[in-house]
Chain A
Amino acid sequence: MNIGNLIMVVVGTGAMALFGIVAGLFYMGIDRVLVARMQARIGPPLRQPFIDMAKLMTKQNIVPANAIPWLFNAAPLVALASSISIMLYIPLGSFAPIFRGYGDLILIVYLLVIPALAMVVGGLASGSPYATIGAQREMVTMISYELPLATTIIAFAWKYAQLGLDNPFSLATVAATPIWSQVGPLGFVGCLLLLVTMILVTPGELGKIPFDTPEAETELAGGLLVEYSGRNLALFYLSLGVKAIVLTAVVVALFFPYNLSSYLAMSALPARLVDGAFFLVKIFVIMFFSVSLIRIAMARFRITQVVDVYWKYLGALSLVGLILVMVDSFIR
């Protein structure tokens, strides 16, 4: 890697981090306004998450007496850094990922675990019984949603390996050859099931109702995050915001990699802008269905019910999806 490349990567990373944070907070604001409107409330202004961040940054950062300070302080940083680093592997609109050619789908699945793990570590390090229960629940939740998530990814990997393409696990390959164009009617149904699975895994990953058991405001007073305040809490919020963008971007990249510019025959720069805007719209739609709409219509699950839902129902759903995709490619 030469110097020029290095600078490109550094600048790109900075830009991606900025985009991730700003977009994450922006979508958080949209979610809050939409949810408020659906509950017949006025809701906060769109920029409320930014105001919250600014305020949290000025607040005192309290480390509890029986916490492990270095671990307690490191956890939010790790969470944010790992969330941003996933951004580098994901195509945004017609922008190819910065680390194209280095990572693939499997790597993203692993990277997605890190912010959640950082939260678990931070929770356990904060020395509060509520945070400890929250951390245990977060681990259980993680193990639970991993099954349907992994099954979905395997379905994709298997399908693209089957097609005999170069570098079948790469997101760039998926983006170049949309899954819908590669499957027959059976596979189409299978893919729909996988899409539903992904939409329902997203709130689990993000800790939103009904899967917000690890934080459970009314039970654990915030659970994992109960002892966090000030800057550390702000970093966790930012990492959640970025993670929301990452997850929805993965869903978009897997299922809706289409761009407008190729249909409109545009020149380079406007095409990129249009694709970028279209990408934001796609993220919004996914976010609306998987976060806002689910979170207003449900009560919180118990931790045992979270496991049941992910392992039994969504596990079965994604397996059926996988089998349909496989059967489809055998009979074609």
Chain B
Amino acid sequence: MKMLAPQEIVDVLKEAAGDAFKEARCTEWAEGVKGNKSRQVWIRLDRKALRPALKRLIEIHFPHLGVISCTDLGEEVELLYHLFVYYGVPHSEIMVTLAVSLPKTDLSIPTITDLIPGALVSEREKQEMMGIRVENIPDGRRMFLPDDFPEGVYPWRKDATGIPSDMVKELWTTGRENLKPPEGAGATEEEKKE
């Protein structure tokens, strides 16, 4: 197996993504005495290039999907597909993260379960936790949230559709007054501004 360098992977995926390619960066991080480096590739794309780029990556080496991470950036939600290629050969694994930004007005993304069936758990989780709509998902049920969890509440959101304060149980209200946190503690920066 001929192994591509991180920059070569970027070039190949850039070609596959075409005009939907936004930016890419390669990072390295060394630990230990010998200074062996772990290598990461971060590629930001438009939604329409996700599947072509992934297909191209599968041609290089069938990637292991770690997880799909998700960030609420205010107006947008960013999905990050953490993929790993070249595992099995000591110290040569490369992490390829494909990041896709979605506007909150249209949170839909095509499924990748036909390419990597193991993505199902992660896609189901993104649907319930962030309110993403995964198109053509083979099994759209909830994963971790209970069935009686209210519709339209998405725990990872940082806007009005996030967890409302009346759903949060404060431990100190069970009679341990001394554990009451100071005012404003335990709120995110956005919540503090409100």
A and B touch in the complex (CB under 8 A): no
B interface residues, Cβ below 8 angstroms from A: none
